[in-house]
Every structure is written in structure tokens, then in C-alpha cells.
A and B are shown apart, each in its own frame.
Chain A
């Protein structure tokens, strides 16, 4: 376990260095000067230069890179050009809504997938269970943004059950926060639970022919017990992998959902930072997202060890 952690820590440093370096140069090679973006086309060249200096954008590209690298190594990610605040703080503020949305929708989707698949396996002839199974394919086929628009039209504009958009922190203002999260979470859960259900179903079907299940039944276990104690734990591994990569992508920002439901998350932050050429913020967000990917994958690897004795032994 300690070896795995050390290897991942080493990988993390390398990945962050590569991602950070790539983003540093890519964002600066795109035409577009943040000083001109702020001051407009009629600004005097000397004012543009003064603002560039004030933003720390003077000097050659290599000088800027080495300076940035030194600062990052010391834990200083710089200040956002547009928000006039440390990058770490801005990213943290925008990470909370994204993380909230990602965690809730992933957890709900996971349980929906487990319930639907278990029911389907235990009662394969139940018409409702079969219908849910079919709906999984439909859920996969419908784009998120379309579902979002329909949900807003029906449940916010027509029925007025939920707000059409907005975000309030769940911990500081749960009364306002919960209703605002319902529609975006439902929207994400529809697609995500469909994907998880199909993944888990495939895995469960692969487990069912195994002879150890016959032994379990011979021991007198009910179909439900067989499913919960033996099939599901063994069938969960592919779902855990799926869940990890999906969660990491969501933490990277769900731009369309954030935009439709006006959620100030990482996705919209990154979009805004790119369009204003807020170099430090673009670098900060991308580094943070890369970090999240590595961390989530590490958690997935560790969960393998917890779920599967064979992995622990190896």
C-alpha cells in the first residue's frame, strides 16, 4: 500500500509538471493579450504595457515560465488577473459547487444503478424492472442539455416546484440550497445512472453463470442473499472504475449544466478564464483538475484493494 502511494505521488509530480508546462505555453501562444482584453482596442500602447507589467506578463516567455515554476514550487499559484484574488482561493470557491454536484449525483446514480440492476437480476420477469432496464438505454441516448431544458421548462417555469437556476451553499443555507440542486442533480443522475446501470448489468450477467453461485444456493441462500453477498461485490469492480473516471470528469467541470443552471463551478470558471486570457487562473484550474484526476484514480485503485482480496494479496 505504501509503495502504491509513493508511486502515485511520484506520478502526480510528473503529471502536474507536464500539464502545467503545456498549459503555460499553449495559453500564451494563442493570440490575445489580457491587457488589451481589459483596456479595449483604443488603449494607448504605453497603458497596455503598464498593465502587462502590473500583471507580471513582462519579460521573455522563458523568464515568465521559470518565474512561474519557481512560484508554484513554493506554493504560490499567483493571482487571478480578472478576479484580483489569489488563484487558490478563486479555484476553491468554484470547486465547492462542482464538488457538491458531482458527489451527490454520483452517489445517487450509484445507488440507482445498484437497485435497478439487483432488482432486475432477482426478478428478471418483473415488468417494471424490465422497463427500467430499457430506460437505461434511453437515458444514455438523451443529451444532458436537452434534459436540463425540459426539466426547467416543466418543473421550474410551468409547475414552479423548483427554482430554474441558482446555487446556494448546502452547509450554510440548506433551505435555499437543496431546492436549487434538485434539477441539476436529476439531470446528471439520468445520464449517469443509465451508464452505471448498463455497466453493472453487463458485469452482473458475467457473474451469474459462475459455479460458486450454485454452491451458495445449495447452502440455502435466497436469491436476494446470493445477489447481495456474492454477485454484487464481485460485479462492482468495473462500475468502480467507471464511477472513478466519471467522477473525475465531473470534478473537472460540467460546463453546460453549470451554464444552464447558473452554478458558479469550475467549468464556467475555466471558460471565463480562457476567454479573458486570465493566464494564472487557467493554469491554476487545469493543475487542480489534473490533481483531481490523479487523486480520484488513486482512490479507485485503493478501493480495488478493499473490495477484492486478490488485489490485496498481489
Chain B
């Protein structure tokens, strides 16, 4: 599953943030993109684009490192059998054609002819098998798929056959999710769990790795042997990819002020600054600001484990009723342009999975009723609720303080412990019953329930249950989009009945970039089909 981090973060970076910012299956562009290809003029070949990123990628292995920066750079380097288009629909990428057997148990993928890796070697079925075997074994999404896989083999040099134990409706969507990239088989031999070194960062994408100065920058250059698809209108990560830019340099800039200053002075032409920079940048005529597709899901996570009073569903219901979500969002969100007050598990751009089920529960706010339910669950006035939060993401501690205020109004005390992010995770893991509520955000640009953190947090907060597992299993067994949509509604409704997470809002992402950057599809940090105006 993909959990999103934001960064880091600059920081920050941060590998802690890597844990949250899961990769970018995300995609899609706002139709009003100021530099969309349609109105951007004639593409210009050449030039180097400099892009600010908050942290060093630390690894370019997308199985070992689910961080956002790794994913965004990796999308330029690698490709999968399928990629998502701008509506998050899976489209063939390395696959030329594929067929599904009548019993839906056997998939036969025929690879496109003439595709080569950036070292010149041809793409073969053996490369696909080696990559997917590693994905099934080591990636959090692949591991869930693996339970249904009977065999995976290369039938010949260009054909891969995947046999399932039972039908799996979202299989193609999952093959289009981060982690399922195809690497050269020879580079995967003996790779440790920490991932391959930069020598292994060879894919079939339109850009190849030129250099990587640790902690400073990653430079990609055009791969002249790239074989593009022909579909020009799919967008997102799918379809035709034209490498107009000679180089794309991802420069590590952790400090938010430095990010904005560099944008204004032309040191870099693209950045994804923090929410508090949105309005000043929007008002700056020298910079173009556009919302990106996808979103982050901001959540409070109650503890289901023994030792926490929130193991009682009435306490979780009470917490949802108590939370004044509009007030929380007004105090910590980035304004209406960057905040969606919805309780969905995926972003609104994701047409296939977006649901409004449970929205009525999301919007409930009744402190008196909350107090009653808390009392029924044994949380009475004078009792103390333990909130674990992190200073690594300022909004986390802001949510905690605002929640403290709302709890205090009904007489419940709180103890807030604020740590850096790894310490927060470590504390939760070390003492599963020693906390009541924590704060996180997830990537909400996802393609199947198996990637949704709200449904897979069992090991983290004890929220797994046979009912939830059954619903996910039913979704995987769906036979049509209509059935899948109904089951997605049921899954989301279940979340708003049991509250494995309580969604505060969804945060929309945005990019700020130079007006000279043309053809940019407002698709995170993907810059094929982009060029720099002379």
C-alpha cells in the first residue's frame, strides 16, 4: 500500500517522510493547466530544466524506498507494464496487448517490440518476471497481490504469463501502481532489502540517470534510444512521451524560503512549496501556480489495541462527533484552494474509486452526543487521552492542540507527546497500547483498496478485522466496474462505521513554476512532453 509523505519535508527529508509520501502513482492534470500542451505553442528541443525537491531521493529503487522524491524521479527513469492516465485509469505501457482467460485466472501479456533499457539491452519477458517477482515478494502492494498469484513465467522472450489462484479484479490497476516498475533482471540479482545502488537505476523511460551527487542533486539526461508509444492524449503517466529537454536536474532544497527565493530568482523553474507559500506565489506574476491531481488524506488515527479506551467503537464515534473539522481545517489548512472537506479514501480526481459513502458521518458534529458516547465507552470528564504527534510535520501538532481544546470543552484532559517522526512511529510500535490517538496523512491518489492505508493499518493500530478483510476480498472478486464501485462504497462506509481513521480533510497539492516551462501536465515532477520556451 502506498502511504504518502510530503516533505520533506525537506527534510527534510527525509526518509522519515519517505514512509508517508508514497510514490507517485498519482497523476492527472487539471484541465485548466496554464501551460497545457494545447496552448503552449510549438515544442522546443533542448535546454536543461532545474527542479527543486525537498530531500535527496536516498535510493532510486522504488521497491525499497516508497518516498515521494524517489517515485517522482523514478517515473522519469522506469516504466511498468501499465501506467495510469490522467484519470487514474490503467493504460498499457510496456505491454503491447494482453488477454485474460475466460475464467479470469490467466493473464497473457505481450510486450512491445523494440523497447530497450537505457544501457541498450532489449526489454525481455525475463526482465518483467524478475521485476514482478521482486515486487510480489517485497513491495507492500505486491505482497497483497502475491497471495492470489499461482505462477508467473516468461513463455517466450516477449510474452509473460501470470496465473492466479482466484480472480482478482484490480490486478491491472495494481500492476500500474508504484513498485511494479520493470528493471533489468541482471541488476536485481543479490539486491539487499535496502535496495540497489545507483548502478541498478536503469529502466526503459525517456530519461536516464546522468549523475547523482548525494545530498545535492540528481541529473537525468535524455535517452535517445527511447521508444515512445503513440497515444498523445492519455496524459498522466501513460501514452506518448517526448523528451524535449536535454537534462532535468532535481536539486535538493530543504528550506522552504530558499525554495521560493530560488523560484523568484530563476535558480530553478519548478517546485512544490508548502501550503503557506501558496497565496504569495499565486499573487506573484513571475510564477505560475497550478493545482496538481491527487491529494493527501489528513487523518487522526484512533488506537484499537487493548490498553486504549478507543478500542471501544463508541469512543471512536464520539471522537468523530466531537471534532469540529471545518475549524480544524480553517486553522491548519491551506485555504479553500488547497482543502477538500470530504471523507473519501481517494482523491476526487480518481473517477474509478472516489466515493461519497459515509460523507454524512464525516460531516457530523455534536459535542453533547460525543460526551454521552465517551461516557458509555468509559472516557469520563477528568480522564486523560494520550495523543502522540510529530513536530516533523507542523500540521500534526496543530491538529493535536486543536483537538486538545475540543476535548477540554467536554472536560476530558489530554496529554500530548510530540516527537520527531521516526520517534513517534517507534514509540507507537514499542508500546501498542500506550497511546490513544495519533496524526498522519496519506497519499490519496491510489488505484485499488489494497493500497489504501485506511484499510490496511491493522499492524499499526489494530484496526484489522474479518469483516474488513471480507469486504476487500469481495472487491478483489468483483466482475464488473459496477460491482467494484458498489463494494468501494461499502468499504468506505465501513471505515465511517468503525473509524480505523477519522479523516479531517484532503489537502490538494500544487506546483509553482516558471512561465517559461511549457507543456507541463501539472503531473507532479514528471517533465517528459515539457520544454523551456526560449
Contact = CB atoms under 8 A, between A and B. Distances in A.
Q: Do A and B come from one complex?
A: yes
B382 interface: no
B261 interface: yes
A47 interface: yes
Contacts of B18: 37-38, 40
Contacts of A160: 265
Contacts of A238: none
B429 A167 contact: no
A30 to B, nearest CB: 6
Contact of A262 (B65, B138, B194, B254): B254
Given A164-B261, A268-B254, A54 B425 contact: no
Question: Contact size class for B?
Answer: 35 or more
A164 B265 contact: yes
A104 interface: no
B144 to A, nearest CB: 10
A118 B429 CA distance: 62
A32 B58 contact: no
Contacts of B422: 32-34, 36-37, 275-277
Nearest to B61: A84
Contacts of B56: 82-83, 272
B253 interface: yes
Interface stretch (A2-10, A149-157, A186-194): A149-157
A38 B14 contact: no
Given A36-B422, A262-B254, A262-B255, A42 B265 contact: no
Interface in B205-262: 213-216, 251-255, 257-258, 261-262
A85 interface: yes
Contacts of B15: 34, 37-38, 82, 272, 275-276, 278
A211 B20 CA distance: 71
A32 B143 contact: no
Contacts of B427: 31-32
B195 interface: yes
Interface stretch (B87-95, B166-174, B350-358, B451-459): B451-459
B237 to A, nearest CB: 22
Given A38-B19, A44-B459, A47-B138, A275 B265 contact: no
B12 to A, nearest CB: 6
A272 B11 contact: yes
A9 B16 CA distance: 38
B154 interface: no
A6 B261 CA distance: 50
B192 A54 contact: yes
Given A33-B425, A37-B422, A38-B19, A163 B265 contact: yes
Interface in A253-283: 259-262, 264, 268-269, 271-272, 274-278
A270 to B, nearest CB: 11
A94 B58 CA distance: 15
Contacts, number: 183
Given A156-B265, A164-B265, A165-B253, A262 B258 contact: yes
B339 to A, nearest CB: 24
A90 interface: yes
Given A276-B14, A276-B16, A164 B58 contact: no
B459 to A, nearest CB: 6
A42 B65 contact: no
Nearest to B214: A83
Given A30-B423, A157-B265, A268-B215, A42 B457 contact: yes
A166 B267 CA distance: 9
A84 B430 CA distance: 27
B213 A93 contact: yes
A128 interface: no
What class of interface size applies to chain A in its complex with B? 35 or more
A36 B430 CA distance: 11
Contacts of A31: 419, 423, 426-427, 430
Contacts of A84: 58-59, 194-195, 197-198
B453 A42 contact: yes
Contacts of A149: 257
B1 interface: yes
A27 to B, nearest CB: 11
Nearest to B461: A41
A51 interface: yes
A32 B255 contact: no
Contact of A275 (B1, B16, B66, B143): B16
Given A33-B425, A37-B16, A38-B18, A83 B58 contact: yes
B261 to A, nearest CB: 4
Contact of A33 (B1, B66, B213, B426): B426
A37 B197 CA distance: 19
A4 to B, nearest CB: 37
5 contacts: A30-B426, A85-B197, A167-B216, A262-B251, A275-B420
The 5 closest A-B pairs by CB, nearest first: A40-B19, A32-B422, A276-B15, A31-B426, A32-B426
Interface of B: 1, 3, 11-16, 18-20, 22, 55-56, 58-59, 64-66, 138, 140, 143, 192-195, 197-198, 213-216, 251-255, 257-258, 261-262, 264-265, 267, 392, 419-430, 440, 453, 456-457, 459-460
Given A37-B15, A165-B258, A277-B422, 20 more contacts: A31-B430, A36-B422, A36-B429, A37-B425, A39-B19, A39-B140, A40-B22, A40-B66, A40-B140, A41-B440, A43-B459, A53-B193, A81-B194, A85-B214, A90-B215, A166-B251, A167-B216, A260-B257, A272-B15, A275-B392
